[in-house]
Amino acid sequence: MNPSTILFLCDDNAACSLMAEAIVNAAGARHLKAFSAGFEPAKVADPHAMEIIAQAGIRARGLRPKPLTEFAGPPPVKFCYAINLATRSRPELAGLAGETCLLHWPVADRPFGAGFGASRKAELLDLFAEIRQLCESMFLRPARTSAQKQTIHRVLDRSESRRSELTVEEHC
């Protein structure tokens, strides 16, 4: 059985999408294969994000910011899912449409350091927990029907007012 492929995208591919890639690859080794990319990738990964991944007992070796074009081929990598973690939709996602299910999980939409005394590492730790919860509910827990997955999206959206709407941009 070939694993389902998932591409996590964010603006710089320095923290959030790398965390999602690591979480899925650590937990879904046989049936899932995750990748990540950035719309405008950073030169290096965020050291706090790499530390949080390692502290969770997940291998961070090999994780690095990459451009979306790295997966263009030849041959191009075919993804079952492409998940945008950035706050806004991006025109680059149009190139992934077709057989790829496009999802939008806008977790990276809050400014770092906005909380009272909040450090970047503390906020990344919160993001890590949020991303892990989303990955587990969508991909890592026992199989769910498509209707159940849609319900998860709606419940998460209603229960967390600070999060923007989780949307499915193409039918899955």
**How far apart (Å, rounded) are the C-alpha atoms in residues 50 and 60?**
6
The model's pTM is 0.79
Which domains occur in the chain, in start order?
Answer: 4-168 (3.40.50.2300)
pLDDT in tens, the chain (172 residues): 467 899 999 999 999 999 999 999 998 767 899 999 999 999 999 999 999 999 999 998 899 999 999 988 788 888 999 999 998 888 888 877 678 899 999 886 555 555 544 688 888 999 999 999 999 988 877 555 555 455 444 444 433 433 344 444 433 4
